[in-house]
Amino acid sequence: MTHSIDTAIGIAWAGVALVWLAGLAFTKRSVRSQSASTRLFHLALGSLGFALLRPDWITTGWLAARFASPDGLVAILGLGLTVAGCCFAIWARIILGSNWSARATVKKDHELVITGPYALARHPIYTGLLAAIVGTALAFGAWHGILAVVILILALLIKMSQEERLMVQTFPLQYPAYRQRVKALIPGVF
């Protein structure tokens, strides 16, 4: 991969990390959350997925084999998808504000956010992150990135199911109606 594409991907992901870290100071207190075992499983899958996404962790074997050139069109498209996905996730994180949590939780005075990116997808942070993950895997162009995408999709689906359960319990009238109007991850599709 060319140095400039690699650097740009790193900057996009660093932007996500900075917004997440800055937002920690403004979150509300949690009153209910997913079980510790579900959280641990989700974190283990996520950690494995992100480790596999890195281009320098697997250098031999079929997982290290390339399906695309590191400086070709696929890498450039991957960079674009990574940046767009990171920007979308950041927008969703900012709109969610103090209701955000790293684990599936209900916050004190929790609000159901349905505006901005939440009018397009019920889990727009995951939409953005998945786009960025797929983009990063394409940009790096190795098969271990595709395996990372599969594992990270599974991790996010597990967390998403926990959040859905908590939102239905917390907003028994509003959330089912919202769920019928707005798809989970891909507007109009899924």
Kindly state the helix (H) or strand (E) to which residue 75 belongs, with its residue range: helix 73-96
The neighbour count for residue 144, using CB atoms within 10 Å, is 22
Is 47 domain-assigned? yes
CA distance 160 to 184: 9
Mean pLDDT of the chain: 93
For the entire predicted model, the pTM comes to 0.93
Whether 168 is in a domain gets the answer yes
67 falls within a domain: yes
Q: Is residue 38's pLDDT more than 80?
A: yes
Paired sense of beta strands 105-107 and 30-33, if any: antiparallel
30 pLDDT exceeds 80? Answer: yes
Q: Would you say 85 and 131 are in contact if contact means Cβ atoms under 8 Å apart?
A: yes
Computed over its alpha carbons, how large is the radius of gyration of the chain?
A: 17
Number of domains in the chain: 1
Interval 48-96: pLDDT, tens = 999 998 877 777 888 888 888 877 999 999 999 999 999 999 999 999 9
Q: Is residue 1 part of a domain?
A: no
Q: What is the pLDDT of residues 103-161, one digit of tens each?
A: 999 999 999 999 999 999 999 999 999 999 999 999 999 999 999 999 999 999 999 99
Task: Report the percentage of the chain scoring pLDDT > 90.
Answer: 82
Query: Rounded to 5 degrees, what angle do the CA atoms 26, 165, 22 make?
Result: 15
CATH code of the domain containing 73: 1.20.120.1630
Rounded Cα distance, 112 and 166, in Å:
11
Structural domain harbouring 164? 35-100+110-181
**Residue 62 confidence (pLDDT):** 82
Measured in residues, the chain has a length of 190
pLDDT classification of 1: cutoffs 50, 70, 90: low
The backbone region for 109, taken as left when phi is positive above 0, alpha when psi lies in -120 to 50, beta otherwise, is left
Give helix 73-96 / helix 3-23 axis angle, nearest 10°: 10
Residue 124: CB atoms within 10 Å: 25
pLDDT of residue 68: 86
In a domain, 129, yes or no: yes
